[in-house]
Amino acid sequence: MKVGSLFSGIGGIDLGFEQAGFEIAWANDIDASACKTYRHNFPNTHLIEGDVRDIDPHMLPNIDVLVAGFPCQPFSIMGYRRGFKDPRGNLFFEISRFIDIKRPRIVFLENVRNLMEHDNGKTFLVIYNTLAQFGYSVKYKVINATDVNIPQNRARIFIVAFLNIEDCDRFAFPEADPLEVTIEDIIDRSVKHDDIYYYGSNSRYFKTLNAKIVDKTGIYRIDDSGVATRKWDICPTLKANMGTYSDRVPIIRDDFGIRKLTPMECLAFQGYPKEYSFKGISLESAYKQCGNTVCVPIIRKIADNIIGR
């Protein structure tokens, strides 16, 4: 089955579908840095770099599945929650434009959990009704990364819509697995990383961090309320603002001091394979991409269930 991917980012959704045996026919994203990462890891996929509003779907090959992790900031409780009043929120209607023209057998959407509650449920109803008006039967579920044995608190809504009612009836979202992987399975505190990740004595947080992070267990973070107000036994939600505000990257103490998670550790907390990597982009862009992407094993399990594994 062939997949077309909108708002592909660094390819987390595409990777999960590819792992399940789907073929990524084409992808699109507007972010130049994300496109660099995508091309580095998907060298054989036709990637269209540019504004989705400038793309004519008629010019693209037909597909069986349309996937889209469309911009979540307009609906996130961490943002202004302007929804469809935000230009990024209006990009959902670009997805509907593609659906109207390509009529894929299946539509797969991912967004923040708050999408269901945004504007007293009206936003979600618009999305649901849009899919229904095109003849799709819709199923949706909120799934956390911990439900697929990934130790990160990351709850997202996943929407799967089927043009064929029988396909919809056969499909079920994956059941939750017990969380057995720990943060210590992902982080090796005995490895010294580049000094750029460590909080030195010149940091305004240095004294506070050293006073609060006294042992080499758990993960901490800096947020609006202050420093290390809670020790997490799983990774707190990785956010795109890690790329804008470097101190928003989760923090640990290792054998060499107090440091931020590295981008590769962040990818591991999103369930990416070790061979996935960044090339030719800034550290800030890498962190932003880690926060903007998806938990790959969730996508893989849903894609497996779509094809009836």
Burial state string for 212-227 with b = 16 or more CB within 10 A and e = fewer than 16: bbeeeebbbbbeeeeb
User: Are 234 and 172 in contact, with CB atoms under 8 Å apart?
Assistant: no
Q: Can you spell out the DSSP letters for 79-133? A: S---GGGSTTGGGHHHHHHHHHHH--SEEEEEEEGGGGTGGGGHHHHHHHHHHHH
Burial class (CB in 10 A: 0-12, 13-18, 19+), 195: exposed
**Torsions phi, psi of 122, nearest 5?**
-70, -35
Return the structure tokens found at 208: 């506070």
How many other CB atoms are there within 10 angstroms of residue 68's CB atom? Answer: 25
Active-site residue 72, yes or no?
yes
Catalytic residue among 72, 235, 290, 295: 72
- Residues 263 and 269: their CA atoms lie apart, in Å, by 10
User: Are 145 and 298 in contact, with CB atoms under 8 Å apart?
Assistant: yes
Catalytically annotated residues: 72
